[in-house]
Amino acid sequence: MNLDFNKNDDKMRLLISQMEQRLQKIYLGGGKARIDKLHEQGKMSARERIDFLLDKDSPRFEMGAFAGYEMYAEYGGCAGGGVVIVIGYVSGKQCIVVANDATVKAGAWFPITGKKNLRAQEISMENKLPIIYLVDSAGVFLPMQDEIFPDKEHFGRIFRNNAVMSSMGILQIAAVMGSCVAGGAYLPIMSDEAMIVDKTGSIFLAGSYLVKAAVGETIDNETLGGATTHCEISGVTDYKCKDDADCLTRIKNIMSKVGDYDKAGFNRTTPALPKKEPKEIYGIIPEARDHQYEMKEILERIVDNGVIDEYKELYGKSIICAYARIDGWAVGIVANQRTVVKSKKGEMQFGGVIYSDSADKAARFIMNCNQKKIPLVFIQDATGFMVGSRSEQGGIIKDGAKLVNAMSNSVVPKFTIIIGNSYGAANYAMCGKAYDPRLIVGWPTAQIAVMGGSQAAKTLMQIEMASLTSKGEEITPEKEKQMFDKIKGRYDSQTTPYYASSRLWIDAIIDPLDTRKVISMGIEMANHSPITKKYNLGLLQT
């Protein structure tokens, strides 16, 4: 191993360590004291409930752990968005579990909570994946009600989705394990089966204080909406459970009797490990953004046996297109190649740029994968499409549009892994969040932005300098540097994977070693949903 490899390895391990330290803090939700308080009430925490529910030692993928990260500081933050969402296995059945975290503002809904819950339902609907709600929430966070209550993608969309999912035949199970109030009270009854924990679970449109204020009736919350009321009188819930463990065990029993599903029929053989050591990925990804590496070296440490069948290997080299297997599943890989290339004029250019020939190749490869019913995996490390007169005259816009069209109209499931740069139109063409990847994750080295920090800072600084100069202010070299550093620092802070993950532009930040697991679990869940649409060639016909 050379010196650069060791430096890269050290840097990646440091980034992963920082990520894990931040996650450990997020895992505490509102803090240990609040978890202890739940235990005193005879309740488990959200994460303890999920651990109890999911099959022991089975794979799992947590979506949106960094949701709300470093947001809502004026309200004391919102760790994990106040809800824990995990794709895992219950009684051998793959499903998605949504658990309100009552230690974070009593499980109240912030805007990011709504966005995260809707993402969980989107995953469920796209993949016809059973969904289990572990409800323990005080409802809408009132100081921000205008940002979570009335709009199309706000709180009410949850219940609309409940109804749509029911019509799609997607199994929904709700367990009321704490508060379930106001509009949220519709969720259990709109699920297929609902249960409630005695003495700790409660459901009502209005609590005892509001009932007193509204109609003058004096009543306690347990009588108003506890387990006895809803299991013996109202019939809102189907099962009365003595405690959290009893409730979760009942869910396991229900899931153990669920029948098989129609499959999409994606090809899978016996899984095999990569031929080369996956941990070597740590040393391959350069610390510096302008240093080259071979994407094939990454792929050989992700795919089964390290074997890829490359499509048009000698053409359009800034994108690698290849057939391979990941954990036995057949996949079509579209990956950017960040290498140094020499132009016809002799100057050196760093790769990760999408050229016309690469865009054309990738578009045709995507078409082929759709014809063969092979899921697509996009691995992003690109700064954008090539610019300049030569590219414009060569039809880069037309070829870029062809790639975007082919990718947008794809009917096979798409999965996106951002391992480096994800800038500008390259984010779009390589299946960014706007293009409906079933899952989209980033490595700790990911950056998402319109353009790189230096380029953006120079552009913004020129605008600001022109404004100051027009007002008669003199710009000294020292002041110019201060302005540049300030603008670049602000811009760079918005390109980190944490900024992206906190806003759910990506579903998670992952250790590169978890890439195979995420893709395999993603294809397995996509296999729940047969393909019903016909692939439209669109611009590929031109």
The pLDDT tens digits of the residues spanning 81-112 come to 999 999 999 999 999 999 999 999 999 999 99
CB 384 within 8 A of CB 409: no
> Which one, of 227, 124, 130, 138, lies nearest residue 180 by Cα?
138
Give the number of other CB atoms < 10 A from CB of residue 1. 9
Q: Which residues of 107-119 are buried (b: 16+ CB within 10 A; e: fewer)?
A: bbbbbbbbbbbbb
Retrieve residue 480's tokens.
Answer: 């110019």
Give the number of other Cβ atoms within 10 Å of residue 425's Cβ. 18
Sequential DSSP letters for 431-479:
T-GGG--SEEEE-TT-EEESS-HHHHHHHHHHHHHHHHHHTT----HHH
For residue 319, give the H/E element and its range.
Answer: strand 319-326
User: Measuring CA to CA, which residue among 50, 44, 64 is closest to residue 95?
Assistant: 50
Nearest to 170 by CA among 262, 92, 64, 54: 262
* Residue 240, beta-bridge partner list: 196
Measured at the CA of 522, the angle between CA 516 and CA 523, to 5 degrees, comes to: 95
Among 269, 408, 406, 388, which Cα is nearest to 326's? 269
Give me 264's structure tokens: 């999409």
Residue for token pair 């250019």: 349
Torsion angle of the four alpha carbons 336, 339, 344, 345, in this order, in degrees rounded to the nearest 10: 120
Q: Could you give phi then psi for residue 72, rounded to 5 degrees?
A: 55, 40
* Cα 436 from Cα 74, distance rounded (Å): 33
**3-class secondary-structure state, position 157:** helix
Residue bearing tokens 């752990």: 65
Q: What is the pTM of this model?
A: 0.93
Backbone phi, then psi, for 111, in 5-degree steps? Answer: -55, -40
- Residues 83, 170, 374, 431: is their CA dihedral positive or negative? negative
Radius of gyration of the CA atoms of the chain, in A: 25
Whether 412 and 371 have beta carbons less than 8 Å apart is answered as: no
Instruction: Provide the phi-psi class of 442: left if phi over 0, else alpha when psi is between -120 and 50, else beta.
Output: beta
Residue-wise pLDDT tens digits, 227-270: 999 999 999 999 999 999 999 999 999 999 999 999 999 999 99
The DSSP-derived string for 68-115 is TTT--GGGT--GGGGEEEEEEEETTEEEEEEEE-TTTGGG-B-HHHHH
> How many other β-carbons are positioned within 10 Å of the β-carbon of residue 204?
22
Can you name the residues that pair with 444 across neighbouring β-strands?
none
Give me the residues paired with residue 333 across strands.
322, 377
Q: Strand pairing of 329-336 and 319-326? A: antiparallel
- What are φ and ψ of residue 177, in 5° steps? -115, 5
- pLDDT tens, position by position, for the chain (542 residues)? 688 999 999 999 999 999 999 999 999 999 999 999 999 999 999 999 999 999 999 999 999 999 999 999 999 999 999 999 999 999 999 999 999 999 999 999 999 999 999 999 999 999 999 999 999 998 889 899 999 988 999 989 999 999 999 999 999 999 999 999 877 788 888 999 999 999 999 998 877 777 878 888 888 888 888 999 999 999 999 999 999 999 999 999 999 999 999 999 999 999 999 999 999 999 999 988 778 899 999 999 999 999 999 999 999 999 999 999 999 999 999 999 986 555 555 544 455 789 999 999 999 999 999 999 999 999 999 988 887 778 777 778 888 899 999 999 999 999 999 999 999 889 999 999 999 999 999 999 999 988 777 777 777 777 877 787 888 887 888 887 887 888 888 888 899 999 999 999 999 999 999 999 999 999 999 999 999 988 876 545 54
- CA 307 remoteness from chain centre: 28
44 to 181, 285, 397: CA distances (angstroms): 20, 41, 55
Q: Are strands 508-509 and 439-442 parallel, antiparallel or unpaired?
A: parallel
Kind of pairing, strands 83-90 and 61-63? antiparallel
Q: Do 114 and 148 form a contact (C-beta atoms < 8 A)?
A: yes
